[in-house]
Amino acid sequence: MNEKKPARPSMCIYPGSFDPITNGHMNLIERALNIFDNVIVAVANNPDKNPLFSVKERQELIRLSIANNPSVIVDSFEGLLVDYARKKGVHVVLRGMRAVSDFEYEFQMTFMNRKLDREIETIFMTTGLRWLFVNSNVIKSAVKAGACVRGLVPDVVADRLEQKINGNKTKE
């Protein structure tokens, strides 16, 4: 019983596409800061996904959305998450889940990461109830169809989505 426990991890990596960041993502970042001193929000550079925003644009949107919170580090990575985690010296990965449909994919990724690096631990957090239906693809589709997404994404993101998707079109 007197065995010394390792210090709690002070940092986690929250990886994702964040194309764009939503209020659901923001909710997880805020809640992760109740557990960890720092959260690295790591934008995945996955060219197979054909993102709307470039990696640099996504990083900028995240920085603007978090209001330069010094506890949140915005970064990007390419390749395997476990390689990125090793490079950063971080052993905890945060993953968000909205619904049961997210579970199968996250389950597979967790075990693959554990196979590649036994020191990587994954923590799952469910998003706040009000954000269960919000994901980046739904947000982009809604804006393309002319919907207002304010309140579902940070205001700066809503503005950039409107500019990026609708350009200089005027509403009639």
Which pLDDT does position 81 carry in this prediction? 96
Domain ranges of the chain: 11-132
Residue 40 Cα distances to 53, 136, 143, angstroms: 19, 19, 28
Q: Does domain 11-132 have CATH number 3.40.50.620?
A: yes
Length of the chain: 172
Start-end of H helices in 70-128: 81-88, 100-116
Q: Could you list the active site residues?
A: 25, 49, 98, 136
For 161, the 3-state DSSP assignment is helix
Q: What is the mean pLDDT of each run of 10 residues along the chain (172 residues)?
A: 64 96 96 96 89 96 94 96 97 89 85 93 91 90 94 96 78 44
pLDDT score for 167: 82
Three-state SS for 8-76 is CCCEEEEEECCCCCCHHHHHHHHHHCCCCCEEEEEEECCHHHCCCCCHHHHHHHHHHHCCCCCCEEEEE
Strand order in the sheet with 38-44: 72-77, 38-44, 11-16, 92-97, 121-126
pLDDT tens, 47-95? Answer: 788 899 999 999 999 999 999 799 999 999 999 999 999 999 999 999 9
